[in-house]
Amino acid sequence: MNLENIKKVDSDVAKAIEAEYERQQNTIELIASENITSSAVMEACGSVLTNKYAEGKPHKRFYNGCECIDVIEELAQKRACELFHMDHANVQPHSGAQANMAVFMYCLKPGDHVMGMDLSNGGHLSHGSPVNFSGMYFDVKSYGVDENGNIDYENVRKIALEHKPKLIVCGASNYSKIIDFKKFREIADEVGALLLADIAHIAGLVAAGLHPSPAPYCDFVTTTTHKSLRGPRGGIIMCKEEHAAGIDKAVFPGMQGGPLEHIIAGKAVALLEASKPEFKEYAAQIIKNAKALAQGLMDEGMDIVGGMTENHLMTLDLRKTGKTGKDMANVLERVGITANKNTVPNDPQSPFVTSGIRLGTPAVTTRGFKEEDMIEVAKIIASAIYASDNELGLQNLKERSLKLCKKHPIER
C-alpha cells in the first residue's frame, strides 16, 4: 500500500488511511458482508480508469474515447455470465441495493405487489422494508423463518397465493441455511410471478459450486461483488436474455449515470480470480471456518439461530445472557473483534438494539484462519460476553485476538 503521493498532497487523509490499515491488520473481522480484496483488485480500482466518463453500454456510449473501457466492461460481463451460468450481465450498478432497484424499475410499476424476506428475519432493506424505496413505492408482503431459523416454504406459498405478487425476491442478508431456489420457482410459477435471487452474501459460494445455483430457476440474479466474492464494492445484475434490454435501460438511463469503470475493472479481475481452482478451495474453507465457529460457540454455551450454519455466516442469539446485540458488538470491538448487531427471529428488542450478533468468516478466511483458529475466536467471543464488565479480562482477550492477527497478517 503506497501512500507517498497522498502524504504529499493530503497528510490528514493519508494518516486516516494508515490508521484504517492498522485497524484492519490488528482486528479479527467477522462482519459477514466484508472481505479483503487482492492487490490486483485494488490496483484496478486505483487506476487511470477513474478518469473516464462512459455513460451507456459498450460500443453505444455517449462519450468518445471509450474503446479501452469497452474491452474491460465486456470482459467483466462475459466473466460474470460464465461464472454464474446466466445469459446476460450488467456490471454497472454501484451497489447491490441499486442492482435490486433496477430490477424493480424494470419489472414493476408503483403499487405493484411484491414479496420479499422480512428484514428482521434476515432479509435486506431493498427486499421491501418500509424505510427503503422497495417498501415505499410497492405493496410488499414479507415472509420469514420458523422457530428453527428455516424459511417456511409452505407459508411462502400461502402468502404468494393470497397476495399474488408480480415479483418474488429470494435471497437474504442474514440467513445461515441453504436456499431452495427450485421451491421458490415453483411458487412463482403457481402465481405467475417473476423471480429475483439476491445472492449478494453467497455469491462466492455459488461461484465455487458450494451452494446451489439460482441460474436454472430465476429470471434475475443480483449480487454485490465485495462480500464472499472478494471483489471491489459494487453490484451486478444478471438475467435471462429476454430481459437484457430492459434491465440495461433500467440501469442507464433509468437509475444512474456514468458507470464507475475503475470499479468495473476491479470486478473483472475479481471474477477472473473467482474462476480459479484456488478460489474454490478458499470458499470451501469459508464454510469449514463458519461451521467451526458456530460449533465452538455452542460448545461454550452460546445459542446460534437455527443451531447451525450451512454457509458463511450465523447469528449469535444473546437472549438467554440478558445482553443486547448493540452492547455486545461494542464489547467485542474492545477485544479486537468486529461484528454487527442483528435481530433474531421474534426479537423483543428494537432493530437499533437487537438481541443478536451476526458473524461471518469470509475476511478471516482470506487472512488464512483455519478451524483451530475459529475455535479460539469462539472462546474469545464467549468469554467477552460472559465477562463484559471485567476490564482486566477484556484486556487479556484483546491480547489473544492480537496474537491471532499477527499469526495471519494482511498483505500490505
Active-site positions read 53, 55, 198, 224, 227, 233
Strands 113-117 and 167-170: parallel
Q: Looking at residue 403, what DSSP letter applies?
A: H
Which parts of 110-240 are beta strand (E)? 113-117, 139-143, 167-170, 194-198, 220-224, 235-239
Cell readout for 281 is: 478451495
Other C-beta atoms closer than 10 Å to the C-beta of 372 total 10
Neighbours of 279 (CB within 10 A): 19
Distance CA(287)–CA(304), nearest Å, equals 16
Report the relative pairing of strands 113-117 and 139-143 from DSSP bridges.
parallel
Q: What is the 3-state secondary structure (H, E, C) of 255-296?
A: CCCCCCHHHHHHHHHHHHHHCCHHHHHHHHHHHHHHHHHHHH
